[in-house]
Amino acid sequence: MEFQNGKTLTEVVLITLKTHGDHRGSFTRTYCQNEFHSAGLPTNWVQCNHTITKRTGTIRGMHWQTAPKAEGKLIRCLKGVVFDVAVDIRPDSPTYGCWEAFELAGESLNQLFIPRGFAHGFQCLTDDCHLFYQMTEFYAPRWAKGFRWDCAEVAIEWPHSAQDLSQRDKSLPTLPETH
């Protein structure tokens, strides 16, 4: 595994996995407690989630959980290609409101760690995208928050026009309105 910090949001980490293959297929280790610990990343995952999104252009996000149930996420694209976005939502951070995007693809065998204090969302760049999430905290609806994908103060440059937004995502406030 190779660990590479984001360029703007250095707490966000892109993890490139190594594959070993032969005539039968391949083997890839997606998690190693020792390597994650050495890289300063969480090693305790309490919940796993799998999303399937059908259409190119669909946006899910921007979501997070607040303290005391703030969560870190390890995200891997199993199938398709997504434009995966992290936004710093820590009000006292010098990078508050800044975003960084990473392309995750089933074939590329990379994954993204997004720490507590960051919102997460993605847009499908292909049809039929499957994402697998490992979470550092259990889902707690009382602490779940989000802001609009088109928040002018953040100005995420989505690759496609927004498609198939959930009713929840359509009605979210802007980032400044969440504090």
Using CB atoms within 10 Å of the CB of residue 6, give its burial: 0 to 12 exposed, 13 to 18 middle, 19+ buried: buried
pLDDT band with cut points at 50, 70 and 90 for residue 176: very high
Count of structural domains, the chain? 1
Per residue in 66-88, pLDDT (tens digit) is 999 999 999 999 999 999 999 99
Q: Identify whether 67 is part of a domain.
A: yes
Contact 174, 147 (CB under 8 A): yes
Q: Does 175 fall in a domain?
A: no
Full residue range of the structural domain in which residue 133 is found = 2-169
Which amino acids are annotated catalytic?
Answer: 63, 133
Bond preceding residue 135 cis, omega within 30 of 0: no
In angstroms and rounded to an integer, the radius of gyration of the C-alpha atoms of the chain is: 16
We report the CATH number of the domain holding residue 165 as: 2.60.120.10
- Asked whether 74 and 137 are in contact (CB, 8 A), the reply is no
How many residues are there in the chain? 179
Confidence of residue 179 (pLDDT cuts 50, 70, 90): confident
Give pTM, 2 decimals: 0.95
* Secondary structure (DSSP) of 6-58: -SS-TTSEEEE--EEEETTEEEE----HHHHHHTT------EEEEEEE-STTB
- What is the tens place of the pLDDT at every residue in 94-126? 999 999 999 999 989 899 999 999 999 999 999
Domain assignment present for residue 100? The answer is yes
Note whether residue 178 is domain-resident: no
